[in-house]
Structure formats: structure tokens, C-alpha cells
Amino acid sequence: MTTKRRVGVLVSGRGSNLQALIDAAEAPEYPAELVLVISNVPDVQGLARAKAAGIPASTINHKSFGSREAFEDALHDALSEAKVELLCNAGFMRLLTEGFVSRWLNRHLNIHPSLLPAFKGLDTHARVLESGAQITGCTVHFVRAAMDDGPIVAQAAVPVLSDDTEESLAARVLTAEHRLYPHALRLVASGLVTVDRERVEGMPGGLGERALFSPPLPDKS
């Protein structure tokens, strides 16, 4: 039996993507196990989700430290003590310094609610709607020091509907996130994909030339 990779998850809020990872990791054949969840904000739902699943969970409050580096040292020490091999951001709302990123280089994933490199940063869905884009989505990528930057592991595209609000669009994208993140972590934890010169290599095929059209093409029948 292949040894499962030990995964730590960083959260700052409700942890819905954490829950998606928890659910996926329950499958015996899944190549990763969640061994630690850390929040930088006390008493958030993400911590409760971890405890309900029997995963060790703790708070390392960034406000308790005098510098970003001191906070990140505490974060790194906790992850190292738990023998974490791969790290996942799941709604973790802190930018990390180059020093921390370098310690977890190519072992640290993040999910963002757009088709990167488009619409980096905050207020993503409002900006998508304002732009008039017809397709948006979500992206899992390896973390780099720049916000929402790094080699892309996996993406999912969803249509933008004519009557969408920020809330309805966010909900549609989030549904895709909950499927995409476990898929991307599976690819990384299994060793199917690696990073070479800032590009992900070894990506499995299968899509062929199929495309998502929004608005949809007329039915040929």
C-alpha cells in the first residue's frame, strides 16, 4: 500500500474547502491524509470542522506576534512538528513572506475563485461581473510570494449567467472549488504532477479539444 502524504491545512474562516478535502481524504485510496489544521483566527468554523473529523486543530493568531516573520516561524514549527509534507490554503487570508514560501516551495497549494492569471486578489466575483466576462472559474496553484501567483495545477470553468449576482456567481464557483481542490491535491500527493521551471509537468490528458461555450452554441439537431 502506498504511503499517504501528510497534509496540513491553513484556514481563516468557515472552511468549506477544508470540508471538501476532509471528505475526499476519507476514501481509502486517496493519496493524502489531513494531519493538522491551523487557523490564524480563533473560533472559526474551519476549526470546528477539523475537530469533528478527528483532525488535530489549533489557532496561531497572527495578532499575537510582533512581526510577520515571527508568526510564520510559529506556523512553520507547528507544521514541522506534525511532520506535514504538503500544505494547503483553504480560505487562509494572510499573505506569506518570501521566507515562508521558500521553505514550502512546490509543497504548498492555494485555491482562488477565478481562472488565473485573470482577476487576482479580492472582490473577484464583483470584478468578473463588471468586466462582462462570460466564463469564470477557479484555480489551484502552487503558492508563490506574489498574491495568487504560481504554477497552475488545475482549473475549472463555469459560465457567468445574465442574471447573476455576486452571491449566485460565488455559489456556482464554490461548488466547482469543492470538486477541484481534492482533485488537484490528489494529483500532487500521488506524484503525478511536478513543477519544472515554474510550470506543472505530467498533467494527465483526456479533455481532447472539447470547449465550454458561454453563451452556448445553437443545437445542431
Cell 500544505 belongs to: 87
What pLDDT, on a 0 to 100 scale, did the predictor assign at position 134?
Answer: 97
What pLDDT, on a 0 to 100 scale, did the predictor assign at position 213?
Answer: 85
pTM: 0.94
Tell me whether residue 108 is one of the annotated catalytic residues. Answer: no
Domain spans in the chain, listed from the N-terminal domain onward: 5-196
What pLDDT, on a 0 to 100 scale, did the predictor assign at position 210?
Answer: 73
Contact (Cβ atoms closer than 8 angstroms) between residue 107 and residue 87: yes
What pLDDT, on a 0 to 100 scale, did the predictor assign at position 207?
Answer: 63
Characterise 186 by phi-psi region: left (phi > 0), alpha (psi -120 to 50), beta (else).
alpha
What pLDDT, on a 0 to 100 scale, did the predictor assign at position 32?
Answer: 98
Contact (Cβ atoms closer than 8 angstroms) between residue 213 and residue 135: no
For the chain, give the longest Cα–Cα distance: 66
What pLDDT, on a 0 to 100 scale, did the predictor assign at position 221?
Answer: 57
C-alpha cell at 85: 509534507
Cell 496540513 belongs to: 8
Q: Of the listed 108, 112, 141, 178, which one is catalytic?
A: 112
Per-residue pLDDT of the chain (221 residues; tens, 9 = 90+): 568 999 999 999 999 999 999 999 999 999 999 999 999 999 999 999 999 999 999 999 999 999 999 999 999 999 999 999 999 999 999 999 999 999 999 999 999 999 999 999 999 999 999 999 999 999 999 999 999 999 999 999 999 999 999 999 999 999 999 999 999 999 999 999 999 989 999 877 766 667 788 888 887 75
φ, ψ at 152 (rounded to 5°): -85, 125
pLDDT tens digits along 39-75: 999 999 999 999 999 999 999 999 999 999 999 999 9
What pLDDT, on a 0 to 100 scale, did the predictor assign at position 214?
Answer: 86
5-196: what CATH class?
Answer: alpha beta
Gap between the Cα atoms of 33 and 36, Å rounded: 9
- C-alpha atoms less than 13 angstroms from C-alpha of 137 in its C-beta half-sphere: 17
Which three-class secondary structure state does DSSP give residue 144?
A: coil
What pLDDT, on a 0 to 100 scale, did the predictor assign at position 209?
Answer: 66
Contact (Cβ atoms closer than 8 angstroms) between residue 178 and residue 17: yes
C-alpha cell at 200: 506543472
What pLDDT, on a 0 to 100 scale, did the predictor assign at position 217?
Answer: 86
